[in-house]
Chains A and B, each alone.
Chain A
């Protein structure tokens, strides 16, 4: 055991104490974390308000008046305040305080942005349109709009208007303009049929659901469905990235020992199985370190945003168990491939199908998370090497997977681990001393069967 420990410690140290690992495991997550914190600031809109004249041509001037009212400075400020109040009402009790405060802060930022200053020139004479168009083209007008009389009726086929824009308007400015022109039509049309727009809008507003889950332990929790969708994904990505990265470390270190010819020196001191065990344990520790670091960062982020309750401790325990299961599967496969080839480029042939096999669970995320109790989710839970990935999704998706199912899938999963490690150890024992041409899948199968 002392020799296995020595190999494991060397494997761990040579992997962890490298610039590449420090960059991948510490610096990159730190950069992402900083970016995540800075994102609200970075994404704050830099609004360039509309400033200039707008020409309106309509049949009787009612629409021009409605457009002018839309661009009234006091009304614009009141409208903004109304929207922010509505946003606050919607967010109240739905989002955790830190997220709500973040969004409100952004909304306040938008409120303080300058309002549009638009002067409206109107005409009821359709022949003026051509002159307005020339002035738009010349840059004297921001835009020119022509409303047909039918737009004020309730007929769908006439529910349109023509808008002629000058060059250089931003997408946001065009959207602001179209929003105001559209609202002006709705206001004028509502007035024509005797409806109060504000009342109608209030009547049509859907109520905000405030869903509260009543837990058995007596705690009432407000759930966020979107966050609940992404927690399983985060679990799976954590699991997959930590086992895949360390599995690749195992592959390259095995090939390095073969190509460096240091393998025979090692095998004069330890048996192939001791060597394999030491390498696997060492890389397992590397993977656990990565998993711990990423989980820690993720958990602290979730807690600071008020989502900590979505990741209870028992789910973290399962994550650890499924990490060990998935890691041993990937490690056994990578060690076998590393032993079967002499150069990294030779490994690519064998690595292709293996990569596909272990990437497959990533594509099942949505289906399993959407319906963790479906036949599909149940089926892949019993197919190693899908078991750990499927189960981590299911465990993170639903409140509780039955204990018997966790036990049974663990039995199947670790049974698969035993089989894969057994086959890998046989390939490792034969392949580790061979140099030259890489082994074919048929030869690997022969090594596994050889006594």
Chain B
């Protein structure tokens, strides 16, 4: 495997607290990988070790084929706790960061202007950072991470605090950068966002990796085998009637009371059941439900750490949604 990041047996402690424990991770070059987990799971600590901001107590971290320290100029980083020099002008700030990342002085101003245009911030080059709105500042911070056009991009909670319009702009740019062949490691606790963007997902909980798979693999592995059915006419059929259908293990009314949730037996064939339901009359919705990443996360934690830990994980995820 041609790995952009290779983490082997990494452990990191802060005093008595274990932040990361026994972490093994390989991120392929050119991939777009999401690192997921609730707040405090150890995601940011892992990223900081990849960037040589922190060093592991045990284990090794290899980035772009060498030490993380040597690869700093080839990495772009948008930290979760991000900031700007408030009194510096936008153009000066971006040029300063670019220079630190090894961009030659020649053509730097044009490059900065180009990025500002690309992110829909044209004309703010000479304004002081403190004069920009929060959304604009976040875009400037994003440019600071990509202005040197690095091979590896690490985004820690890139969408947090962004309004929907700016989130779409950033979303588009992340996609463009990925299509340009850059490796992107995206760290977030917003599972839906990661599911929409990432090719591969790594779930981390309490410093340990709990899952590492591509999205299709996750869907296949955590197939819920649940069919959502909503007849066009309410009351056209009952739960008892549906329970008699072949392959149906049990039936529960849906939360909104308009339809039903059919749990399928292991031997059931969803396609045959689709046809049977259509023959019973017109339907507003027949859908083989896709498992949510939140559910996957809770199930993984349950399998490894037990019911109590799973309940805690669910609460942590709920808590994180507010961020």
Contacts and interface: CB of A to CB of B under 8 A. Distances in A.
B100 A266 contact: yes
Interface stretch (A6-14, A142-150, A373-381, A404-412): A6-14
A268 B77 contact: yes
Interface in B147-174: none
Size bin of chain B's contact surface: 20 to 34
A268 B75 contact: yes
A265 B141 contact: yes
B220 interface: no
Contact of B97 (A264, A269, A271, A433): A269
Contacts of B97: 265, 269
Contacts of B86: 260
B245 interface: no
A269 B52 contact: no
Contact of B100 (A257, A260, A269): A269
Interface of A: 2-3, 6-7, 10, 14, 257, 260-271, 433, 435
Contact of B85 (A260, A267, A268): A260
Nearest to B84: A262
Contacts of A260: 83-86
Nearest to A261: B83
Interface in B73-87: 73, 75, 77, 79, 81-87
Interface of B: 48, 51-54, 69, 72-73, 75, 77, 79, 81-88, 96-97, 99-102, 141, 144-145
Contacts of B144: 265
Nearest to B101: A269
Contacts of A263: 83
B88 A14 contact: yes
Given A261-B81, A261-B83, A262-B83, A267 B53 contact: yes
Nearest to B83: A261
B100 A3 contact: yes
A14 B92 CA distance: 11
A266 B88 CA distance: 15
Contacts of A264: 53, 77, 79, 81-83
B81 A268 contact: no
Given A265-B82, A265-B144, 4 more contacts: A265-B77, A265-B141, A268-B53, A270-B72
Contact of A6 (B79, B82, B100): B100
A267 B51 CA distance: 8
B53 A433 contact: yes
Among A7, A260, A269, chain B packs the most CB atoms within 10 A around the CB of A269
A437 to B, nearest CB: 13
B83 A268 contact: no
B48 to A, nearest CB: 8
21 contacts: A2-B102, A3-B99, A6-B99, A6-B100, A10-B96, A14-B85, A14-B87, A14-B88, A261-B79, A261-B82, A262-B83, A262-B85, A263-B83, A264-B83, A265-B79, A265-B82, A265-B145, A268-B51, A268-B72, A269-B73, A269-B97
A23 B220 CA distance: 69
A269 B88 CA distance: 18
Contacts, number: 62
A6 B72 contact: no
B274 to A, nearest CB: 51
Nearest to A274: B100
Contacts of A265: 77, 79, 82-83, 97, 141, 144-145
B256 to A, nearest CB: 43
A232 to B, nearest CB: 39
Contacts of B73: 269
Contacts of A257: 85
Nearest 4 CB-CB pairings of A with B:
A261-B83, A268-B77, A269-B100, A260-B83
Contacts of A10: 96
Contacts of B85: 14, 257, 260, 262
A433 B75 CA distance: 19
B100 A7 contact: yes
A268 B79 contact: yes
A261 B100 CA distance: 17
Contacts of B54: 433
Contacts of A262: 82-85
A265 B96 CA distance: 11
A84 B233 CA distance: 122
Among A3, A265, A271, chain B packs the most CB atoms within 10 A around the CB of A265
Contacts of A269: 72-73, 97, 100-101
A3 B100 CA distance: 5
A269 B73 CA distance: 7
B138 to A, nearest CB: 12
Nearest to B14: A434
Contact of B96 (A2, A6, A271, A435): A6
A246 to B, nearest CB: 19
Contacts of B72: 268-270
Among A6, A10, A267, A268, chain B packs the most CB atoms within 10 A around the CB of A268
Contacts of B81: 261, 264, 435
Among B75, B82, B99, chain A packs the most CB atoms within 10 A around the CB of B99
Nearest to B87: A14
Among B52, B69, B81, chain A packs the most CB atoms within 10 A around the CB of B81
